[in-house]
Structure 1
Amino acid sequence: MKKIVILGSGAGGTMCAAKLRRELGRDWEITIIDNDEMHHYQPGWLFIPFGIYTADDCQKPKRDFIPSGVEFVLDEVVGVNPDKRVVECKKGKYDYDYLIVATGCHPAPEEVDGLENWKPDPKANEQTFFTLESACALYKRMKYFEKGKMIFNIAEMPHKCPVVPMEFIFMADWFFAKNGCRDNIEIEFVTPNTGLFTKPIATKVMTATAEEKEILVTPNFDLETVNTEEKY
């Protein structure tokens, strides 16, 4: 019996397991390992800060998506020994003939000077929506934000979903207008790119829209440090 082990049961790992299970015979054993039993619909996190989606709208049990004939192991991987072809987890070990790594990517705010101790907090002035917890915290922060300045800063390229920063600033404009406080809030979009987007035609159109909505765009800015006390 041949053994395939997949690390990660997000969209990539789950689709890979499903395709392999359809294509391979029963003489192949497929195991998928993940330390989270919930599947997160990450595109939905964008809508949580605006109260359009809730956390429950964006997650379901992963076992609902794991195909029949695939073993789902809820455990945390601590190491891989490629010489012995063994995956080491906290609760056990799993040998394999083929290993597929589909662990995805995760925000690393600790790599930015000044954000080493950052964590999701609805009272903090530094926020993101690239995790479920941080999206929920940002919702609580934006809900009561009625006056001041909001800076959306792309810290580094590449990032998940190229258009999501533009979606966020335009939705923020809509959200604050709906709440009757847009005139009291300045929105600035800061990016390391040469323009609002990477494609010339889209950049031209969205830059014009940003100007119409009085959203300031600051290009060619590489983030190095965040001063959380002085807020810059």
Structure 2
Amino acid sequence: MTNHVLITGTAGGIGLALAEAFLSAGWQVTGIDRDQSALDRPGYSHSFCDITDETAMDSAFDEAMARAPLRAVIANAAVTDMAHHTVLEQDYATWRNVLDVNVNGAFVTARAGARRLAPVGSGNITFITSSLAFLNQAKANDGPYCASKSAVEMLMRVLALELTSSGVNVNTLFPSTKIATGFFAGASTEEQAELDPPTILNDTALFLANLTPGALTGHSLDQQRWDSDPAYRAELGGHR
């Protein structure tokens, strides 16, 4: 039976890179995005959907499950304040939009996935977060994004606890470096040259999606440590 993953935010950036990686690994992929851009590759299905719309998301998940049972769900879609205001200058509408997409959208995605994976006693839910989620990595002029990713880290831990007996693994995966996505569209040419490619998370995301029931849950995986620290990789890689 072909493995099936649902990934949000597949119209570009990390989500698109993940979709392509899973397809290349032989997975069936359902992509969800409020942009209608879709991969034209065998095995890929696209749902035009706002991840904060729980009714639309439930329908998208039902349609995905009708194609094939899901083994993994990756909550990747996110936005930021592209103007990088200070908190004092932050407009409330932008603040609410970032929190709505990044936190509420992640909640709706994960809940929909958990409701379908838990009854069968297996599956993997991964949230893509950021090193900016952590207290020692707070960054000026990125209040909404930092706050939203911190909230998702805690949501992961709560959901992992709640799903422990079900066998469903719940983890986060975050890059410790800047990645070439739309978030840095306004960066200088010099800054653009220093960005890592969106593909940087592919191998680790595949590792997390392939975990066996109850193998590794409630963890925040640091991509930089995974790539550079053999002991860290061996410790986590021992879970399958």
Structure 1 length as normaliser, TM-score? 0.33
**Structure having the larger proportion of residues in helix:** 2
Instruction: Work out which of the two has the higher radius of gyration on C-alpha atoms and give 1 or 2.
Output: 1
TM-score, with normalisation over the residues of structure 2?
0.32
